[in-house]
Amino acid sequence: MKRKCFIFDLDGVIVDTAKYHYQAWKSLANELGIDFSVEQNEQLKGVSRVDSLKKILKWSGRTLDPIEFQNKMNQKNANYIEYISGMNTSELLPDVDRVLKYLTNKEQFITLGSASKNARPILDKVKITGLFDAIVDGNDVSKAKPNPEVFLRAAQQTKSKTKNCIVFEDSVAGIQAANKAGMTSVGIGDPKILHEAQYNFQNFKVMSNDFLEQLIKK
């Protein structure tokens, strides 16, 4: 039996927490006197917390001393945690449950490859932790996307070859990481933004079971 390793990004793929990251970064940036556009936010998707704050400061030409930097990161995370505290199963993105069930029934490996350090509590809140064969998140890696470390670890944990791994990602950095790892990259979101992906879907609603079957048999 073919057993592929399906690696799901979390924010923006399984749950719509991308909007909460955006709101939390925007209020921090505005407080620092920095404008923060939707386009800039796009460049933060999939990017670690540390690297995100570094980018915001670079765009603004501002600097913070190490203590202020840490304080601002803590402030952003506290704000984000407040946003996600009320999450429940209704925040699973459309058809994620169908795709997860289909792959589970086909006995495929299901893994998480997320940059977020808040990934585990979020999976618990939307009640899907038990479906995963491996969970790799921001606490487990030292190199952030577009470095492929997070996806390579998910492959290792399921003893899968990289050519047998399929990554679902909503960020440019994540698609680049999947491509660097030699994995199949599937962009979930705007194909103009995610044009480096091998396949593109606006969301899981438009991804058929036939396509999933094709990936399993590939």
Note whether 148 binds ligand B16 by CB under 6 A.
Answer: no
Determine which residue in the list 5, 7, 8, 12 makes contact with Mg ion, applying CB under 5 A.
12
Restricted to residues 168-187, the positions that interact with ligand B16 (CB under 6 A) are 171
Choosing from 8, 24, 96, 170, the residue that interacts with Mg ion (CB under 5 A) is 170
Contact with ligand B16 (CB under 6 A): which of 4, 26, 49, 72?
A: 49
If one asks whether residue 87 binds ligand B16 (CB under 6 A), the answer comes out as no
Tokens matching residue 27:
């209020």
Residue 46 makes contact with ligand B16 by CB under 6 A: yes
Centre a 10 Å sphere on the Cβ of residue 88 and count the other Cβ atoms it contains. Answer: 9
CB 16 within 8 Å of CB 122: no
137 binds Mg ion (CB under 5 A): no
Closer CB to Mg ion, 28 or 194, in the complex: 194
Q: How far is the CB of 9 from ligand B16 (least distance, A)?
A: 5
Catalytic residue set: 9, 11
- Name the nearest CA neighbour of 175 among 164, 187, 193, 166: 187
207-214 contacts, C-beta under 8 A, 24 or more apart: 207/95, 207/99, 209/98, 209/102, 212/99, 212/102, 212/103, 212/106, 213/106
Determine the distance from the C-alpha atom of residue 109 to the mean position of all C-alpha atoms in its chain, rounded to a whole number.
Answer: 18
Binding site for ligand B16 (CB under 6 A): 9-12, 21, 44-49, 52, 77, 114-118, 138, 171
